[in-house]
Amino acid sequence: MPNVTLLFAGLHGLLLLALLVPIVRLRRGRKVGLGDGGDIELLRRIRVHGNFVETVPFVLLLLALDEMAGAGRWAIVVLGSTLLAARLLHAYGLSRSEGYSIGRFWGTLLTWTVLLLSSLHGIALAAMNLRY
């Protein structure tokens, strides 16, 4: 059972809810039923949520598979913590500005780094496990 990944999946689930609430509030307040209604703030919040769901589920899947394949707990803790920090930075940065921001830059860079490392780690674990 990938218990460490499960912990991080739960934490990311809470973050996902925190990203959804402002979208619902803006839609209700501005009476937008579908899409962004041309509202730039609503569009930005939708993209914060969209960027999250475009990457986080797959990275969590990789972490769970890595953990089940024998990755050390500390590797999963470091990668899961980095992913969570990255998504918080990205959400903060993008929710404040649609242009360049330090939070968005570092959030993206760290997310991609976790994606790369967990992918390579998974490939290495699979190769080692195939030998036996």
Q: Which domain holds residue 41?
A: 3-130
89: left (phi over 0), alpha (psi -120 to 50) or beta: alpha
List, for the chain, all residue ranges whose pLDDT scores fall below the cut of 70.
98, 132
What pTM does this model have?
0.90
Residue with tokens 């619902």: 24
Structure tokens at 61: 């899947």
Split into its structural domains, the chain has a count of 1
- Residue 36: per-residue pLDDT: 82
CATH number for position 114 = 1.20.120.550
Q: What is the spatial distance between Cα 23 and Cα 42, in angstroms, rounded to a whole number?
A: 6
Question: Rounded distance, CA 106 to CA 129, Å?
Answer: 34
Predicted confidence at residue 105, as pLDDT, reads 94
Please tell me the predicted confidence (pLDDT) of residue 32: 84
